[in-house]
Amino acid sequence: VAGPTGRIGSLVQDRLLARGHQVVPLSRTHGIDLLDGGPSLRTALRGVAAVIDASSLAATDNAEAERVHVAATAALLDAEDEAGVGHHVVLSIACLDRVSGGPHYVGKRAQERTVKAGTVPYTIVRATQFHDFPAMIARRALVDGVAPIPPLLLQPVAPVEVADVLVEIAEGQALGDTLVLAGPGTEDAVDMARRTLAAQGQQVTLRPTWQGTFGLEFAGEVLLADEGARLGRVTFDEWLGSLQ
Ligand SMILES: NC(=O)c1ccc[n+]([C@@H]2O[C@H](COP(=O)([O-])OP(=O)(O)OC[C@H]3O[C@@H](n4cnc5c(N)ncnc54)[C@H](OP(=O)(O)O)[C@@H]3O)[C@@H](O)[C@H]2O)c1
């Protein structure tokens, strides 16, 4: 698991262990920087059947995002190829092609292209925003108790269901294709952030705005999944209830 200390990667690791798999954690915390590649990554992948890439790479601009996503993914795929890994599963973002987005979107598109061009059999799992996404971006933008937030229309999915699907897919044959995973209903991001932050006891004033990473191109139904997406069952209300 690449990114085993992260939001989704930690859930993936827990599920894999519960299902009796052995897990090799790939993250800087575990002494492996995907951007370095190198012998430690190659050694770690010996005997590995499948890799789930749930990492998230930081970048400040589009050029850096493209560079780090291509470098990390290519290093991972090279090491997988050498070790004979049979399935590369990567977590990506639904509706990635409908918007240009900020550096993270640029990086994720480059990551997908690298996976498709590689030699390791793959499955791309594109998930819609997670239930905790609006509160996360509000928290990141918080200054003096005020957080700007884009008034997005979302079809959010529960993090546990994303982890379940990644594990299920990794246990099977590579699809050589992209699967889209979305939540069961549509929600207003401002409302989601307000309710999540309140449930967590945080006093934040939210200022809806299209200025910032999520500009006007994100308005309307652009982030809602097409028909044919696989749908999770856990609603935002159920997820919120589980926090209390
Ligand atoms: N948030 C959403 O709503 C959403 C929706 C759809 C898809 N996604 C995608 O889901 C993925 C996972 O997101 P997340 O929120 O679970 O991530 P996260 O909590 O930020 O975790 C990131 C993980 O990546 C690892 N990592 C970062 N840089 C690394 C490097 N250079 N080498 C090795 N490991 C590195 C981190 O471990 P160390 O710090 O220990 O290295 C950590 O385990 C992302 O790619 C994101 O695009 C997110």
Mean pLDDT per 10-residue interval, the chain, length 244 residues: 98 98 97 91 96 97 98 97 98 97 97 98 98 97 97 98 98 98 98 97 96 95 96 98 88
Q: Are 156 and 184 in contact (CB under 8 A)?
A: no
Q: What is the DSSP letter of 57?
A: -
| pLDDT at res. 37 | 82
91 lines ligand 1 (CB under 6 A): yes
| pLDDT at res. 221 | 98
Strands 153-154 and 187-188: antiparallel
| pLDDT at res. 64 | 98
242 lines ligand 1 (CB under 6 A): no
- Give dist(CA 189, CA 137) in Å, integer: 10
45 lines ligand 1 (CB under 6 A): no
125 lines ligand 1 (CB under 6 A): no
Q: Which pairs count as long-range contacts for 7-14, CB under 8 Å and 24+ apart, including other chains?
A: 7/130, 7/132, 7/159, 8/54, 8/91, 8/130, 8/159, 8/162, 8/163, 8/166, 9/52, 9/54, 9/55, 11/159, 11/160, 11/162, 11/163, 12/52, 12/54, 12/163, 12/166, 12/167, 14/163
Both tokens of 129, joined, read 């925003």
| pLDDT at res. 85 | 98
Q: Are 204 and 138 in contact (CB under 8 A)?
A: yes
Strand partners, 181: 127, 230
Q: Are 138 and 15 in contact (CB under 8 A)?
A: no
Query: In angstroms, what is the span from residue 51 Cα to ligand 1's centroid?
Result: 14
Q: Are 235 and 186 in contact (CB under 8 A)?
A: no
- Give dist(CA 79, CA 73) in Å, integer: 10
**Is the backbone of residue 201 left (phi > 0), alpha (psi -120 to 50) or beta?**
left
Substitution site in 11, 29, 32, 55 for ligand 1 pocket (most atoms within 8 Å of beta carbon): 55
Q: Is 65 exposed, middle or buried (0-12, 13-18, 19+ CB in 10 A)?
A: buried
SS3 content of the chain, % helix, strand, coil (to 5): 40, 15, 40
Strand partners, 125: 91, 179
Query: In angstroms, what is the span from residue 54 Cα to ligand 1's centroid?
Result: 6
- Give dist(CA 181, CA 184) in Å, integer: 10
